[in-house]
Amino acid sequence: MQEFLASLVSVAFHGVAYGMILYVISVGLSVTMGLMGFANLAHGVFAMAGGYILTTSLDQWGLPFPLALAVAFVLVAAGSVVLERLLYARLYAAGELAQVLFTIGLIFMATAIARLIYGTLQQPVHLPEGMKGQFDLLGRDFPAYRVFIILFGASLVAGLWFGVERTRFGAMVRAAVDNRAMAQSVGIDTQKLFMATFALGSGLAGLGGALGAEIIAIQPSYPFEHLVYFLIVVAVGGLGTLRGPFVAALVIGIADTACKYWVPQFGAFLIYVATILLLLWRPAGLFGRAA
Amino acid sequence: MRHNGSYSASPRIGLLEWTPWIIGIAAFFLLPEYLSLGARILIFILYALSLDLVVGYAGIVTLGHSAFFGLGAYAAGILSARFGVADPALQLLAAMAACALMGLATGAVILRTRGLTLLMLTLAIASILLEVANKATSVTGGADGLSGIVVAPILGLFRFDLFGKTAYWLCLAVLFVGWWITRRLIYSPFGASLVGIRENHVRMVAIGSPVSRRLLTAYTMSAVLAGVAGALLTQTNQFVGLNVLSFESSGELLVMLILGGVGRIYGAFVGPVVYMIAQDMLAKQFPEYWSLGIGLLLVIIVLFARDGILGIIDRLVALVRKEAR
Amino acid sequence: MSAVLQTRGLCKRFGALTVADNIDFTLEAGARHALIGPNGAGKTTFVNLLTGRLAPSSGSVVLGGEDVTRLSQQDRIRRGLGRTFQINSLFRGLSVVDNVSLAVAERRGVSGRLFRPASQLSEVRDEAMELLRSLGMADDAQVIIANLAYGKQRLVEIAITLAMKPRVLLLDEPAAGVPSIETHRILDVLDSLPVQIGILIIEHDMDLVFRFAKRITILVNGATLLEGTPEEIAADPRVREVYLGERHE
Ligand SMILES: Nc1ncnc2c1ncn2[C@@H]1O[C@H](COP(=O)(O)OP(=O)(O)OP(=O)(O)O)[C@@H](O)[C@H]1O
Ligand SMILES: [Mg+2]
């Protein structure tokens, strides 16, 4: 019994850490999909890029860890703006098929480039000394870095929600998600808004990829391999909301960790089945508005 | 050369439409050393044709079409390797039955949703099958693949030979039947209403069309076609590997289809031919640059030539005609 | 006269916003009825509630004496309810005649046939052409919608709906976006519709409304403000207030 409780705590802990990462990566996808209706399957590319930038900044440029995280966010956000202006923006009015194929093309390219530069092996993450140890609580060890992820993730989420609820930028985003034509007619520059939102969402994905590099291994197959999970978070959470994907990410993070811990022979099978059942019950997701 | 089902389109098979078959037959005699590549191309044409039916005509974008290709491949393979059924016709039938059931069941679920959710579900379903195939080693052979597949002579007469001659003819014949059925479907009232749904879902509902049922029918038929293609692959290779179910396989197929041209039947012929010949010549030498190139090609096609190679040809022909006038 | 379409206490709320507020409405057989009101009054929403595209928060819809509140759009269409869209909703990549044919085939119940070529069903195409001819659009039959002038697209919008042979026709701003010199064509078409069809028209063009309608209902903030003959409506001071923007809260 004692043993079981202990493993329960441990699963919950690792699950929450994993869920945080999933959320930070996926939230941008939910918002861009809700705001622009763009099916950006290449979202995982930004997360992968964040991971590679982190390991490169740590190992080759010798940057301290916090700075490396910041660099991952900034570089990915900046890069995504270039992509948005040059490529994505041309396809806002295009059909779903065009967007899907275009973003699959980006994944193919990103995967190949990653393999050319870094090879196929997963990148080791060299954590700073302070985060390597264990953290003792109630007689159990918790890796300090995961504790950091949870705390950092939680404050990020709080900041994000506060920003979207309280700032002018947030109000504009919410207005445009609700009704784009209306937002345009009251003078919101939707083009700039899209660009800014896209940059923020991609930057967060980069940050999430960097932050989670130790949990979700950084390797060239990353954008393909984890795409289903990012999409599940968004579909289950519902489009265009911040809270929905958060709940979904935590649930999936915990459920996935639990499955791998107790029934590893089923792999991700149970998650997929649960997702399908849930969407049968609520096709628009947990918090999504019915179309 | 667009082939849209509609009430004013003549269903006569045009002269040009016989070219693939002439080429198919000619290739057998002219390029005997490439028969195994040829058979693979024929299989992928059938597979792409099945995708064209859902993506190009019904307008359902799916990332998980490999689910049906793989299911068909495994159904035929398991029937032979585990149950000792070597008859090729029975193997094809088993693949068709399995895919029909799977198409109905999964279609009923995913077609209730749209957009990103639908994409995710198609991907998830293919992933589930991949997991199952990977884990159920005693039945599927898992990561090592399924071997020990025996395919008896077709009709008791034509033995599968080492040079792949029989396999080639089988693939060509099955593709012909698949093409003929698909073409009939597209030119039927049913095909016309699929195009209507693709063009404007809301309006189709508003004129009283049973949209969900139509989509489910199309999806299931496409699943069966893909399953047949998968079963053919099994019979040709006498082996099934996990990769038939992978996301990359669905992705590659989409690339082939868009390369040829979506929603025009023959895009599904041109795309796989060009793609697979190029792959045969380039991919082994430059594996890294190959997928980089494919990605780049996709982006370029989407931005500049969304109707694929056949679309470009159409435009050139129109241009020449205009000049001539 | 008898009612072909009725609502009782129809309500629709989007969150805190009430867009249909307890609407009791009756459309008589063969009616020429106009529904007018300022932008955002809830007119399109009302049509969507009638056709079943939206489900009401409360209240009921009665079509031909039968409560259809729980029926799907498709079932209501089968009972003779047709509608046009405020913003063109056409099959843009298809020709005019193919647009209409799809609706004809659907009504005739032949649209699900699997293997016989569609073009062999010549009765479908003939009926579609006949309908286009009656609307004066025979010359445009082969034109792809995307290449057709907007005013003509509005006519196709009506043609598709007429192809369904509705008993009740809901027209959501049929002249919206049509240059004023062309609105007479729309009006001609409306005038030529069979008298037994009950028509509800939403329209901002007051000339058109007063020339066409025998009865007018005014909708403001989701509620019916007033209903009467054109003369009664024209004489009512509240109407001017609504339209001059001096709303009384
Ligand atoms: N799906 C929806 N969700 C939330 N609000 C909606 C929705 N559809 C309509 N509304 C709101 O309901 C109100 C009524 O809209 P509706 O389109 O019915 O007005 P209308 O009378 O047809 O206006 P117009 O003359 O401009 O066509 C508007 O304020 C609109 O913003
Ligand atoms: Mg309206």
Condensed to tens digits (0 to 9), the pLDDT of residues B184-212 reads 999 999 999 999 999 999 999 989 899 99
Ligand 2 mean position, distance from CA A146 (Å): 53
Mean per-residue pLDDT, B136-144: 87
| pLDDT tens-digit series, residues B278-295 | 988 887 788 778 889 999
Contact B36, B42 (CB under 8 A): no
- Choose among B117, B135, B255: nearest Cβ to A267: B135
The answer to whether residue C184 is domain-embedded is yes
pLDDT in tens, B96-110: 999 999 999 999 989
Residues of chain B found within 8 Å of residue A275, distances taken between Cβ atoms:
120-121, 124
- Number of domains into which chain C is organized: 1
Residue located nearest, by CA, to atom 6 of ligand 1:
C14
pLDDT at B1: 59
Percent pLDDT > 70 in chain B is 100
Residue at A285 is within a domain: no
A138-186, pLDDT tens digit by residue?
Answer: 667 788 888 899 999 999 999 988 888 788 887 888 787 777 777 777 7
Do residues A220 and B287 touch, judged by C-beta distance below 8 A? no
Rama region for C227: left / alpha / beta (φ>0; ψ in -120 to 50; rest): beta
pLDDT the model gives residue C248 = 43
CA nearest neighbour of A110 among A230, A224, A238: A224
Average pLDDT over every residue of C3-25: 90
Whether the CB-CB separation of B109 and B53 falls below 8 Å is answered with no
φ and ψ at A140, to 5 degrees? -125, 150
Helix, strand, coil tally for chain C in percent (to 5) = 40, 25, 35
Averaged confidence pLDDT in chain C: 89
Residue A62 C-beta-side C-alpha neighbours within 13 Å: 0
What's residue C129's pLDDT?
94
Q: What is the count of structural domains for chain A? A: 1
Whether residue C221 has its Cβ less than 6 Å from ligand 1: no
CA torsion sign for A25, A31, A32, A37 is positive
Residue B143: pLDDT above 90? Answer: no
Domain span at residue A92 reads 18-220
Q: Residue C47's pLDDT band (boundaries 50, 70, 90)?
A: very high
CB C19 less than 6 A from any atom of ligand 1:
yes
Question: CA B166, B171, B173 angle in degrees (round to 5)?
Answer: 95
Query: What is the pTM assigned to this prediction?
Result: 0.90
Q: Which of A45-49, A272-276, A280-284, C70-74 has the highest mean pLDDT?
A: A45-49
Task: Look at residue C218 and tell me if it is in a domain.
Answer: yes
Q: Do A276 and B288 touch (CB under 8 A)?
A: no
Whether C212 is covered by a domain: the verdict is yes
CA C210 – CA C216 distance, rounded (Å) = 9
In a domain? residue C219: yes
Between CA B267 and CA B47 the distance in angstroms is 12
Q: Would you place residue A289 in the very low, low, confident or very high pLDDT band (cuts 50, 70, 90)? A: low
Which backbone phi and psi does B306 adopt, to 5 degrees? -65, -15
- Radius of gyration in angstroms for the set of CA atoms belonging to chain C, rounded to a whole number: 19
Show Cβ contacts of residue C203 under 8 Å, excluding neighbours closer than 6 positions: C34, C36, C171, C173, C174, C175, C209, C212
For chain C, how far is it from start to end, CA to CA, in angstroms? Answer: 36
Residues A45-79 have pLDDT tens digits of 999 999 999 999 999 998 999 999 999 999 999 99
In-domain check, residue A251? no
- Residue B13 — left, alpha, or beta (φ > 0 → left; ψ -120 to 50 → alpha)? beta
Contacts of C32 (CB under 8 A, 6+ apart): C199, C201, C212, C213, C214, C215
Contact A108 B61 (CB under 8 A): no
Q: Say if strands C198-202 and C168-172 run parallel, antiparallel, or are unpaired.
A: parallel
Most confident range (mean pLDDT) of A235-249, B3-17, C120-134 is C120-134
Q: Do the domain assignments include residue A51?
A: yes
Residue A213 domain flag:
yes
Reading the block at residue C242, the tokens are: 């609504």
Interface size between B and C, measured as CB pairs under 8 A: 126
Q: What is the pLDDT of residue A286?
A: 81
Per-residue pLDDT, C246: 46
Residue A170 maps to a domain: yes
User: C234: domain CATH number?
Assistant: 3.40.50.300
User: What is the complex's ipTM, to 2 decimals?
Assistant: 0.90
| Residue C100 domain flag | no
User: Is residue A34 a part of any domain in this protein?
Assistant: yes
- Nearest Cα neighbor of C110 from B194, B185, B218, B190 is B190
Q: Does the residue C140 lie in any domain? A: no
Q: A250 with A19: CB under 8 angstroms?
A: yes
Instruction: For residue C1, name the pLDDT band (cuts at 50, 70, 90).
Output: low
pLDDT of A194 higher than 50: yes
Checking if the pLDDT of A209 tops 60, the result is yes
- Boundaries of domain holding C79: 3-89+165-247
Q: Is the pLDDT of residue B157 over 90?
A: no
- Cα A144 from Cα B236, distance rounded (Å): 54
Which tens digits make up the pLDDT trace of A113-147? 999 999 888 888 888 887 787 777 766 778 888 88
